[in-house]
Amino acid sequence: MTSQPTTPTKAGSGPGGNGEPDSGLQAGLKNRHLSMIAIGGVIGAGLFVGSSSGIATAGPGILLSYALVGTLVVLVMRMLGEMSAANPTSGSFSAHADRALGPWAGFSIGWLYWFFWVVVLAVEATAGAKILEEWIPQVPQWGWALIVMVVLTATNLVSVGSYGEFEFWFAGIKVVAIAAFIVVGGLAVFGVLPGVDAEKAGLSNLTEHTGFLPNGPGAILIGVLLVVFSFMGTEIATLAAGESEHPQKAVTKATNSIIWRIAVFYLGSIFVVVTLLPWNDPAIEDKGSYVAALDSLGIAHAGQIMNFIVLTSVLSCLNSGLYTASRMAFSLGTRGDAPKAFARTNARGVPMAAILSSVVFGFVAVFFNYAYPDTVFLFLVNSSGAVALFVWLAICFSQLRLRKVIEREEPEKLVVRMWLYPYLTWATIALIVFVLGYMLTDTEHGNRDILLLSLLVAALVVGVSLVKDKVLGGGRTATPGASEASESAGASGSPGSSGSSAKVADSKAGAPGDRS
């Protein structure tokens, strides 16, 4: 393997149009890859398999839950888009947090995010294996999980272009399938679908059957907790932009399109489900919301059709999860927060060590899923469950600080701007904190345990980062601009900022080649 040590540089210092500046990664993702990754990234397998519990809990009011979480994601993505368009990097929000909040933040949020995705690898591999075993029972479930993991690992090891090509088709199938579902279902709701007698369909399903909010307004918040984690993955486009031909353009396009993507794919499809069937129809929970909706139209083999779509979503999530985890490990390596090997790429621009380390942990998690599903694996899943909210909080606080730095140093790079800054940023922070607080009160659906375990793991990771910085001192390579961001934040009086933040960032800044 031809190793190429990478050296992080200040945004804009590298050659334009060649991927992440001077990183060793290559611009192997084409515009069509990025476009489909951005569109398909918002459609997770959780939308297909997890929406039924939300509908059963909140009734048609689940639309408000999705709208509330969708608004939150739009605001967070706008902030991330602002920072990533100004400084595209494979580390995305972890690198931004490193620069804005200090080394502890970049280290902690990076490793927590990596942990989240390697656990997702095991969850999705198992889900895909169950479907494949139903089709071909001669191969055991663990065998299918192994095959799926090996194939997608090989895909990611070939080149970033092969990842992009696989994801283009996986995402394309998801997009076409859900678009067709919305069109066909919408026509049936309004009674204009030829050859179909949808007896239960109609807008009346939104208000009949004990009303729009059959379980009261509080069910909307419970619905938020049930659907919020299905939105994880919208940020992948900003990580992938670092390996695209025109990263700034790609980030800007992905950020600007997030509103219609969420409105169409999430709100649009859920609207079709709750108007095709009464919310309390037993089939929604028994078969799953989308399968039940297709069955109500008399579409033959609806279950198998949906299984194919879910399998495609699972493979897409696996493919992107492995890519995302490896690029986060790569970014941590370039900053001295992970082994040096993670920051090396081969002649094709592939960070092999970062990929293999991620997939090894994924394989271990798959083993735990089969050997200790109710103990070790349950702990892994629950302890990574609230990471999405932690990541979103880090993005918000990073944007509060970096906005001033970008305006002062490189105002021409503010091609994406957060709306009503800083007021909407603070409102978003308040909403996320509220959701976290509400999780503590929800014992019925296990959200209290999920949050407490996630906080425990987060505290351990932060502790490791603080000990590491104290022991290694100046051996760490700081993200360029970290001291400037911290000083600016400290001077501005932003909450959480202090003179110590600036000192920490300043003391850790070393020469580009000086790594732990």
pLDDT, tens only, 272-319:
999 999 999 999 988 889 988 988 888 878 888 888 988 998 888 888
Is the pLDDT at 391 greater than 60, yes or no?
yes
Give the DSSP letter of residue 5. Answer: E
Could you tell me if 101 and 121 are in contact, meaning their C-beta atoms sit under 8 angstroms apart? no
Residue 266 CA, chain-centre distance (Å), reads: 15
Asked, as a colleague might, if the bond just before 60 is cis with ω within 30 of 0, I would say: no
In total, the chain counts a number of residues equal to 516
Residue-wise pLDDT for 247-259, tens only, equals 888 888 888 888 8
Residue-wise pLDDT for 307-336, tens only, equals 898 899 888 888 888 999 999 999 999 989
Cβ density class 387-417: b for 16+ within 10 Å, e for less: bbbbbbbbbbbbbbbbbbbbeebeeebeebe
Please report which confidence band the pLDDT of residue 476 belongs to, taking 50, 70 and 90 as the band edges: low
Six token digits for residue 384: 């990574």
Residue whose entry in the numeric block shows the structure tokens 């990533």: 84
Distance spanning both ends of the chain, measured CA to CA? 22
As a whole number of angstroms, the distance between CA 343 and CA 358 comes to 13
pTM score: 0.84
Six token digits for residue 256: 């600007």
Could you tell me if 413 and 89 are in contact, meaning their C-beta atoms sit under 8 angstroms apart? no
Mean pLDDT of the chain: 82
Could you tell me if 214 and 65 are in contact, meaning their C-beta atoms sit under 8 angstroms apart? no
Could you tell me if 350 and 160 are in contact, meaning their C-beta atoms sit under 8 angstroms apart? yes
Residue whose entry in the numeric block shows the structure tokens 């001033």: 404
* Architecture of the CATH domain 31-468: Up-down Bundle (1.20)
- Shortest CA distance to 221 belongs to which of 68, 77, 86? 68
As a whole number of angstroms, the distance between CA 349 and CA 293 comes to 45
Region label for 150, one of left (φ > 0), alpha (ψ between -120 and 50) or beta (otherwise): alpha
pLDDT at 464: 93
pLDDT at 477: 54
As a whole number of angstroms, the distance between CA 427 and CA 25 comes to 36
Is the pLDDT at 232 greater than 90, yes or no?
no
Could you tell me if 111 and 348 are in contact, meaning their C-beta atoms sit under 8 angstroms apart? no
As a whole number of angstroms, the distance between CA 314 and CA 307 comes to 10
Phi, psi of 84, deg, nearest 5: -75, -30
